[in-house]
């Protein structure tokens, strides 16, 4: 189902009956749409509910989740506003689609990973986990938020021309110091996703769901 309600044009697919109690919030890269990551979400965790917004910012006609001044240089004021906007959307969707009992896990690629990282650092509690494909440090927080109990997979490209290795290392250390359970996967290629990224994320996701079921049982 595609709708323009709740402040974002978005697609929602309910989870299947008996499926994992998880909502994947799918966040596309620059120039993407709400349709881009639906297939990835289905493959990452079959049966999970899928919530996929389209970024509200347009850069030369390309949807994004926040404005940038140049490649990798973010408009921090807009980022702060858009971070709140996305957080409100996820909260509202949780109620509207009755997802309150689900774990909410962000799955973001590139610009989508960057807004997810910003939400994690600004509004802890929105996401209980995140798979961030090719993320960058959105900003360095003045004090680390409390991300105890939040699991994060960073999937970085070893030859990514957009994200330097040092930037991934900094992001990892920021999440580490916030108490998150951080895993790092290094894809041997660049900014584009490979099949290996999908396999690494599937493994990570299966581990999250298994540990959640153990806790619940
Ligand atoms: C961003 O602007 O979020 C990053 O540069 C990644 C991208 O190109 O979307």
> Mind listing the pLDDT tens digit for each residue in 119-148?
999 998 999 999 999 999 999 999 999 999
What's the half-sphere exposure (Cβ side, CA atoms, 13 Å) at 128? 16
With cut-offs at 50, 70 and 90, classify the pLDDT of residue 10: very high
Task: Find out whether the beta carbon of 30 lies less than 6 Å from any atom of ligand 1.
Answer: yes
Ligand 1 atom at minimum distance from 29 CA: 9
CATH classification of the domain holding 110 = 3.40.50.1820
pLDDT the model gives residue 34 = 98
pLDDT at 16 over 90: yes
pLDDT the model gives residue 215 = 61
Judge if pTM exceeds 0.85: yes
**Domain region containing 171:** 2-216
| Measured CA angle at 208 (ends 202, 210), to 5 deg | 100
Ligand 1 atom at minimum distance from 134 CA: 6
pLDDT at 1 over 90: no
Count up the domains in the chain and report the number: 1
pLDDT cut 90: percent of the chain above it: 92
- The answer to whether residues 135 and 183 touch, using CB atoms and an 8 Å cutoff, is no
């Amino acid at each position: 189902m595609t709708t323009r309600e709740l402040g974002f044009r978005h697609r929602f697919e309910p989870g299947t009956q008996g499926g994992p109690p998880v909502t994947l919030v799918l966040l596309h890269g620059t120039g993407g749409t709400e349709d881009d990551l639906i297939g990835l979400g289905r493959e990452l965790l079959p049966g999970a509910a899928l919530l996929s917004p389209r970024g509200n910012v347009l850069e030369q006609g390309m949807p994004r989740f926040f404005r940038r001044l140049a490649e990798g240089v973010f408009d921090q004021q807009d980022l702060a506003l858009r971070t709140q906007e996305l957080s409100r959307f996820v909260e509202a969707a949780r109620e509207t689609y009755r997802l309150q009992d689900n774990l909410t896990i962000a799955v973001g690629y590139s610009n989508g990973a960057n807004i997810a990282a910003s939400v994690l650092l600004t509004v802890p509690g929105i996401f209980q986990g995140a798979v961030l494909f090719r993320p960058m440090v959105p900003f360095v927080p003045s004090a680390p938020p409390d991300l105890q109990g939040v699991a994060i997979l960073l999937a970085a490209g070893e030859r990514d021309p957009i994200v330097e290795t040092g930037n991934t290392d900094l992001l990892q250390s920021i999440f580490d110091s916030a108490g998150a359970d951080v895993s790092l996967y290094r894809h041997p290629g660049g900014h584009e996703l490979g099949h290996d990224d999908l396999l690494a994320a599937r493994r990570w996701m299966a581990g999250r769901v298994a540990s959640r079921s153990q806790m619940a049982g």
